Amino acid sequence: MGLRLLDGKVVLVNGGSQGVGAAIVRAAVREGATVDFTGRRAEVGEKLAADTGARFVRADLSDPGRARDSVAATVEAHGRVDCLVNAAGLTSRGSLLDTTPELFDQHIAINLKAPFFATQAAVADMVGRAAPGTIVNIGSNCAHGGPPHLAAYSVAKAGLAGLTRNAAHAHRFDRIRINTVNIGWTDTEGEDATQRAFHGAGDDWREQAAARLPMGRLGQPDEIADFVVFLLSDRSGVVTGSVIDWDQNVPGALD
């Protein structure tokens, strides 16, 4: 077997027990990495760990201390962290007029605060070892504005784009590359639950959605995972501070 993209790398995927995060765990293992991942549900995380050989660390990332601790646990287990993926996400609905302070705080905690403090801890480890590293954040095309029913989510994801650029600039001479992938509508277990809970969707919601989309289908987690692994790897070259739109709709374009 030839050299794989992440051979010899230690990778932490926060929010890696399902959906896009789980796909990234699988792809990183396939590409030769030693992988730790976090999630809230033990049974789901333990099954993925058994299937992939990755190590599951149960963590509720709504506590920023647990976000930092996830990095510390990886460093303790493996001696370092080379790559971090911030994939945990909350997509509970709420418009400007009906979002409560509690819902707003939940979105900020999961979608912005957790990535901020996990990134802080990972960069501290990399700088402390004078070693390069890579970080990829899973953002959203909602960072460009988003629909009315995702007000707090859109605000948090816009903040994540700002974090990406600020941290990438601050640590460019440490050779720590930090990028975000703003994903669009994606076919995940979480999206299925959201469509049913908030939009009254039936079993055919994917087919109905596909009929309205330019490419005739939703985005797929494994495709996103392959792109994320590429960004984590040396094959993505010098790119840093990029917020990359990974979607079939073009932000800013109008009919």
Residues forming the active site: 153
CB neighbour class for 144 (10 Å; exposed up to 12, middle 13-18, buried from 19): middle
Amino acid at site 94: G
Instruction: Round to whole Å and give the CA distance between 54 and 8.
Output: 14
Amino acid at site 152: A
Q: How many CB atoms are located within 10 Å of the residue 224 CB?
A: 24
Instruction: Round to whole Å and give the CA distance between 227 and 84.
Output: 14
Residue 15 structure tokens: 């929010």
Closest CA to 117 of 155, 153, 84, 78: 84
* DSSP state for residue 40 in the 8-state scheme: S
Residues 149-166: b if buried by 16+ CB within 10 A, e if exposed: bbbbbbbbbbbbbebbbe
Q: How far is CA 119 from CA 4, 131, 199, 211, 212, in A?
A: 25, 15, 34, 38, 37
Q: How many CB atoms are located within 10 Å of the residue 90 CB?
A: 19
